[in-house]
């Protein structure tokens, strides 16, 4: 009777950290056989109950024999090692014992060095053109640009590095006033705006998002886009937003969990708006930077702009998200309407990272 050999598997060792669980999840998605092992007790719930085999420490006398036995028993052909010291040990130990098992990728240290180098190169590249967006103002140093990109990348969202770079650039020329964001999702751009508000002493930040499916449906877009609203747990979404902004929390940020129309009534009527800690934020009710990124249906974008742009200060900036959007033309149509209606007031206008940026001056004499 012929016994089919076990399929070659990947060993994750030591399976003790987030890099290990991230690799394990990806392997499961693509059907890659994975064996888990560690030299210390871990949390088995990280791997949905899959057994984590115990091995001696790499420097202990019994490691070699037990490690070889595990490799043979489970037909290990590759090893993913997320711990730098163990990676370094295996890098010499494997060839010294005549093993052809592949040690995947670079060491964790080299990966970090490479990732940081790529981040700084990206910041350097973006900063080379950011001054052209800054209306003559000096943009942030390279290291701060890199830091903001790094922090924003930790938060789920669709705003690209290019859009974030333009946001960073225009903040340098914003007047003193409020920053308002319509549509916050998990807080990627809110985090950036809050940093910029403090860095340039512009003013407090107001974010607006009801986090409700009924307000997230894009009626003007293809059905597959509309169905995305059903994938969210909206209470989790709200919680994630505040988790992501928790390290940046202060008395200069408040959130209104309500539709844009209701939020504008609260804002324009001068009603108190408080932080999660019930501290009233001193909003001036005049806007220095307005980021419109709510529902992308034409009617919704038009309403957001008609309401909130009325509060934009002379010299203030409007950021209209997804002016270039593959799933509808609402933002583009509204953007074009604004370019025409406000042509006498526009000091600067450009598109970057799919968003339109418009700097509006004062109303012409005899108007407004």
CATH value at residue 156: 3.40.50.150
Measured CA to CA, the distance from residue 142 to residue 18 in angstroms comes to: 29
Judge if 100 and 116 occupy the same domain: no
Judge if 93 and 130 occupy the same domain: no
pLDDT at residue 226, as a whole number? 64
Q: Which residue has the higher pLDDT, 363 or 110?
A: 110
Measured CA to CA, the distance from residue 82 to residue 146 in angstroms comes to: 25
- 367 located within any domain: no
Judge if 92 and 124 occupy the same domain: no
pLDDT at residue 227, as a whole number? 67
- 145 located within any domain: yes
- 101 located within any domain: yes
Judge if 90 and 125 occupy the same domain: no
Going by their DSSP bridges, the two strands 346-352 and 355-360 should be labelled as: antiparallel
Q: What confidence tens digit (pLDDT) does each residue in 2-22 have?
A: 555 567 899 999 999 999 999
Lowest-confidence pick of 210-219, 252-261, 355-364: 210-219
Judge if 92 and 145 occupy the same domain: no
Q: Which residue has the higher pLDDT, 219 or 289?
A: 289
Q: Which residues contact 157 (CB under 8 A, 6 or more apart)?
A: 185, 186, 187, 188, 189
Measured CA to CA, the distance from residue 328 to residue 287 in angstroms comes to: 28
- 188 located within any domain: yes
* CA angle at 6 for the pair 78 and 57, rounded to the nearest 5°: 45
Judge if 149 and 90 occupy the same domain: no
Judge if 70 and 123 occupy the same domain: no
Tokens of 255: 């959130």
CATH value at residue 95: 3.40.50.20
Give residue 366's pLDDT band: very low, low, confident or very high (50, 70, 90). Answer: low
Say what the pTM is.
Answer: 0.90
State the average pLDDT over residues 327-353: 94
How many independent structural domains does the chain possess? 2
Judge if 158 and 301 occupy the same domain: yes
pLDDT at residue 364, as a whole number? 78
Judge if 91 and 227 occupy the same domain: no
Q: What confidence tens digit (pLDDT) does each residue in 267-306 have?
A: 999 999 999 999 999 999 999 999 999 998 999 999 999 9
Judge if 274 and 292 occupy the same domain: yes
Give residue 265's pLDDT band: very low, low, confident or very high (50, 70, 90). Answer: very high
Boundary residue ending a domain (73, 105, 137): 105
- 211 located within any domain: yes
Q: Which residues contact 67 (CB under 8 A, 6 or more apart)?
A: 55
Judge if 72 and 197 occupy the same domain: no
Give residue 339's pLDDT band: very low, low, confident or very high (50, 70, 90). Answer: very high
- 128 located within any domain: yes
- 36 located within any domain: yes
Boundary residue ending a domain (88, 105, 122): 105
Q: What confidence tens digit (pLDDT) does each residue in 64-91 have?
A: 999 999 999 999 999 999 999 999 999 9
Measured CA to CA, the distance from residue 14 to residue 87 in angstroms comes to: 9
Boundary residue ending a domain (105, 137, 164): 105
Measured CA to CA, the distance from residue 360 to residue 244 in angstroms comes to: 31
* Structural domain span for residue 54: 9-105
**Cα 308–chain centre separation:** 25
- 263 located within any domain: yes
Judge if 226 and 328 occupy the same domain: yes
Q: Please, what is the average pLDDT of the chain?
A: 93
């Amino acid at each position: 009777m012929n016994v089919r050999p076990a399929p070659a598997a990947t060993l994750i060792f030591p399976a003790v950290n987030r890099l290990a669980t991230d690799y394990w999840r990806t392997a499961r998605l693509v059907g890659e056989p994975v064996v888990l092992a560690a030299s210390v007790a871990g949390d088995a719930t990280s791997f949905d109950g899959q057994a984590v085999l115990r091995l001696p420490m790499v420097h202990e006398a019994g490691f070699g024999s037990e490690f070889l036995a595990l490799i043979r028993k489970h037909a290990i052909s590759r090893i993913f090692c997320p711990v730098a010291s163990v990676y370094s040990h295996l890098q010499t130990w494997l060839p010294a014992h005549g093993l052809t098992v592949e040690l995947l990728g670079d060491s964790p240290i080299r990966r970090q060095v490479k990732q940081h180098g790529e981040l700084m190169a990206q910041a350097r590249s973006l900063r080379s053109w950011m001054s052209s967006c800054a209306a003559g103002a000096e943009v942030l140093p390279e290291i701060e640009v890199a830091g903001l990109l790094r922090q924003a990348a930790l938060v789920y969202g669709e705003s690209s590095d290019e859009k974030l770079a333009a946001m960073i650039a225009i903040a340098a020329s914003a007047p003193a006033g409020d920053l308002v964001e319509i549509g916050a999702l998990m807080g990627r751009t809110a985090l950036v705006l809050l940093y910029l508000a403090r860095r340039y002493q512009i003013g407090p930040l107001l974010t607006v998002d009801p986090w409700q499916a009924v307000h997230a449906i894009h009626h003007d877009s293809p059905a597959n886009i509309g169905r995305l609203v059903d994938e969210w747990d909206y209470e989790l979404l709200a919680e994630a937003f505040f988790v992501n902004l928790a390290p940046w929390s202060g008395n200069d940020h408040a959130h209104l969990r309500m539709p844009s129309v209701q939020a504008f009534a609260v804002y324009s009527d001068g009603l108190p708006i408080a932080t999660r800690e019930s501290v009233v934020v001193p909003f001036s009710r005049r806007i220095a930077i307005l980021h419109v990124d709510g529902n992308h249906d034409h009617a919704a974008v038009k309403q957001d702009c008609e309401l909130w742009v009325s509060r934009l200060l002379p010299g203030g900036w409007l950021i209209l998200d997804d002016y270039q959007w593959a799933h509808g033309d609402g933002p583009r149509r509204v953007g074009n309407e604004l370019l025409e209606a406000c042509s006498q007031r526009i000091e600067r206008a450009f598109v970057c990272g799919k968003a339109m940026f418009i700097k509006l001056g004062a109303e012409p004499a005899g108007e407004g």
